[in-house]
Amino acid sequence: MISSGGARTAANLGIVSMMTVFLGACSSMSLPSFSSSPSVAPEPAPTPEMPASIRGDEIVGKWGLASFQNPNDRARTEAAAKAQCKQPYVIGAGGSGGVIMHLADQATPQELRLKGSPSGKNYIGPPGPAGGEQDREIVSFDGRVLITRFIDKDAATRYGNMVYVRCAPRA
């Protein structure tokens, strides 16, 4: 006959054994985390930079600059940009093949890259994937007129479509 103390000990051992089995099973399966820090998803592999179809040396030079919001104002804005050649915006050549231009809201120009994309669009911006928040898309370029638009929605709203008109004949 088992005494009540022995029965209690046997029951406790049974419960401990069951909890051990349960906890062992838990360690081999994935349970949701209840911690406050979010889980970190693996970063996608970086895509290699594509060359742009426009070379940096094609846009180096002096440009008249103006901008428009309404596409109907493009012709008028090109004329206004041409009139700005008295005080041209200078796009310089960078030391590593890029161009020296301003980023949105930056007082100091810096070397930016011309970047291509799988969709065929060209961008001007800092190193990184094409179409990044600090990039500007090259909307059109014919050698004489360059039109760009910032990717960042706030900058795009404030600056509009930037129209650069070449001040001097191409060399």
pLDDT tens for the chain, 171 residues: list them: 555 556 666 555 555 555 554 445 554 445 455 545 555 655 555 556 789 999 999 999 999 999 999 999 999 999 999 999 999 999 999 999 999 999 999 999 999 999 999 999 999 999 999 999 999 999 999 999 999 999 999 999 999 999 999 997 654
Distance CA 166, CA 37 (A): 52
Q: Which of 146, 140, 151, 138 is nearest to 165 (CA)?
A: 146
How many structural domains are present in the chain?
2
Distance CA 88, CA 75 (A): 19
Q: Does residue 139 lie in a domain region?
A: yes
Within-domain flag for 127: yes
pLDDT the model gives residue 15: 59
The total number of residues written for the chain in this structure: 171
Residue 87: give the domain boundaries.
50-166
Terminal alpha carbon distance of the chain: 110
Do both 86 and 116 map to the same domain? yes
Do 146 and 112 fall within a single domain? yes
Based on the domain organization, do 140 and 91 belong to the same domain?
Answer: yes
Q: Does residue 45 belong to any structural domain of this protein?
A: no
The answer to whether residues 93 and 151 belong to one domain is yes
Residues 136 and 89 in one domain: yes
Residues 139 and 65 in one domain: yes
State how far the alpha carbon of 16 is from the alpha carbons of 2, 9, 10, 19, 60, in Å: 20, 10, 10, 5, 77
Considering the domain boundaries, does residue 38 fall inside one?
A: no
Task: Looking at the structure, tell me whether residues 59 and 122 fall in a common domain.
Answer: yes
Does any domain span residue 74? yes
Residue 115 lies in a domain: yes
Bridge partners of 78, per DSSP, are none
Answer yes or no: do 65 and 6 share one domain: no
Residue 43: inside a domain: no
> Whole-model pTM?
0.70
Residues 72 and 12 in one domain: no
Is 156 part of a structural domain of the chain?
Answer: yes
Residues 11 and 61 in one domain: no
Same domain? For 24 and 54 the reply is no
Residue 23 and residue 56 share a domain = no
